Amino acid sequence: MNLIARLYDVNSSEPRVVIHRDDCKELGVKQMDRVKLEAVSSQVIVVSISDTVVNKGEILVPMSVMARIGAKDKQKIKVSYSPKPESVKSIRKKMDSLKLTKEEINEIVFDILENRLSNIEISAWLTALYINGMDNEEISNFTQSMVATGEKIEFDRTPVFDFHSLGGVPGNKITPIVVSIVASAGLMIPKTSSRAISSACGTSDFVEVFCPVELEASKLKNIAETAGGVLAWGGSMNIAPVDDMVIDIEYPLGINPRAQMLASILSKKLALSATHLLVDIPMGTGTKVRTLEEAREYARDLMELGNKLGIRTECAITYGDQPVGNAIGPAPEARECIRILEGAAHPASVIEKACDLAGMILEMGGIPDGPSKAREILSSGKALAKFREIVEAQGGRKGITSEDIKIGKFVHDIKAVRAGYVHSINNKDLVTIARTAGAPADKGAGIILHRKKGQRAEKGEILFQIYADNQAKADRAKDIAIRLEPMDIEGMLIKKVPNPPALKGI
């Protein structure tokens, strides 16, 4: 059937064409079926049916698809029914808990990339992955397919070190410190990071407070090869783009299937030609990994997968029961991070975690006594100099200092309503409060903790402060903070046991 193509100026996560109901009947096409469009070149795409927004004989085509098939507004194009892609059968196979071949996985990945699978089908795929999982051979194939969907960056230097945190613990601002230490020691670490999805602040969210993070591949390569380190946003390059496409589906479902997560991490490292990788696995209530057993399992899988893919991988299981350091949110974390590079002695948890992890990377690079070497580089000021070199190379201010970072002007103090010890801190509640205050979009928004676990507060003393860039969000965050009570304060005496207890039970 020939239809007149009309430009359809809707920017959606899922490009579709719109065809009149009568033409659909004629084509034998139902809602969510696919058609093949043919002009200069061809494309298969999902159909929406309408009898109001499109006339009979016409087809609404999004701009990106017009460009792809080489057609213009009001041009006649050939439209025909296109059967479901074969990859839908492979999704069914995973629903039935069967193992997929390399080719089947590759087809699914490329059909997502080319918009041949609809959001409904991708959602079914992720749900099946979440429930039925993949073995390491499948994950390894999955990773390689994801790498093949995008750009691969090759460096003139080798080895290439990399670092990744599974996340889930707020305030984890160690990346710029780790990268600066490792690069100071002469190893190359071209680190790409992500932005927050459901957290209060991703690494790229706070790094961009002091320098641009959207680097082109050639610039990233150049900075890494000269400075030895880089602090880029992974999303700015065309690296494993399919991964970003599925995040749009994972987020509303609130799932991150293990196989998808592992393939996602490793595909980005593989695309950046990493030869050595350290993975930080924060463990604790409120993080992604709850128990030591689970953490060990992730570590085993990551190391096995790394081996299969030619990346020497080590893992560090770290303490994740409460935030790392005291600051949460873009500017607060940026300031705390730079202060430590400048030589501040607190918060100790940030220094310890950064130096221990940087030390592991140094040892992977053949430098003995890694952790103490890392502390030496940090305290000598070499890490700060390297950090400033990287920031300047990425287009940030020359000689950046922590004084340059401005945090939110609208502040609320949250005080202890009784005296006692902080027994627990709820990571998720803190994230909710920081996000309500505006993080990560409002750079000044976040939280500064004045007490951490095990510390004592008297009644009326500040437990934490909320910072925001506008009054309304500060107020809303305060209301939520009072309702959630993210810090649990108790006396040292938890529960009285009456004597003799035996009498009561009878």
User: Which residues would be at the binding site for its own copies (CB under 8 A)?
Assistant: 9-13, 18, 25-26, 28, 30-33, 48, 50-53, 84, 88, 91-92, 95, 97, 118-124, 126-128, 130-132, 248-249, 251-255, 435-436, 438, 441
Q: Is 318 helix (H, G, I), strand (E, B) or coil?
A: strand
Contact in structure between 327 and 448 (CB atoms under 8 Å) = yes
Do strands 410-415 and 420-425 pair parallel, antiparallel, or not at all (unpaired)?
unpaired
Provide the minimum distance between the beta carbon of 357 and its own copies in the complex, in angstroms, as a whole number: 30
Contact present, 427 and 328 (Cβ < 8 Å)? no
Task: Compute the least distance from the CB of residue 42 to its own copies, in Å.
Answer: 19
Rounded CA-CA distance 480/268 in Å is 37
Nearer to its own copies, 229 or 440 (CB): 440
CB of 248 to its own copies, least distance (A): 6
**Which single residue is written with the structure tokens 């990425």?**
394
Query: Judged by CB, which is closer to its own copies: 33, or 107?
Result: 33
Least CB distance to its own copies at residue 322 (A):
24
Nearest to 284 by CA among 453, 504, 81, 109: 453
Nearer CB in complex with its own copies: 124/263: 124
**Separation of alpha carbons 188 and 180, rounded Å:** 10
Residue 233 or 387: the one with the smaller Cβ distance to its own copies is 233
Q: Which is nearer to its own copies, 201 or 374 (CB)?
A: 201
Taking the complex as a whole, the smallest distance from the CB of residue 86 to its own copies amounts, in Å, to 12
In 3-state terms, the chain is what percent helix, strand and coil (to 5)?
Answer: 45, 20, 35
Q: How many residues does the chain have?
A: 506
CB of 240 to its own copies, least distance (A): 19
Q: How far is the CB of 473 from its own copies (least distance, A)?
A: 9
User: Closest separation between CB of residue 28 and its own copies, Å?
Assistant: 7
Q: How far is the CB of 403 from its own copies (least distance, A)?
A: 28
Nearer to its own copies, 251 or 490 (CB): 251
Q: Which is nearer to its own copies, 33 or 389 (CB)?
A: 33
By the 8 A CB rule, do 313 and 302 touch? yes
Integer-rounded Cα Rg, in Å, for the chain is 26
Angle at 351 between CA 261 and CA 233, to 5 degrees: 40
Which among 258, 262, 297, 293 has a CA at the least distance from the CA of 277? Answer: 262
Identify the three-state secondary structure at position 29.
coil
Tokens of 402: 């922590």
- The amino acid at residue 86 is E
Kindly tell me which of 127 and 226 has the beta carbon lying closer to its own copies: 127
φ and ψ at residue 293, rounded to 5 degrees? -60, -45
Q: What is the dihedral of CA 71, 73, 79, 81, to 10 degrees?
A: 100
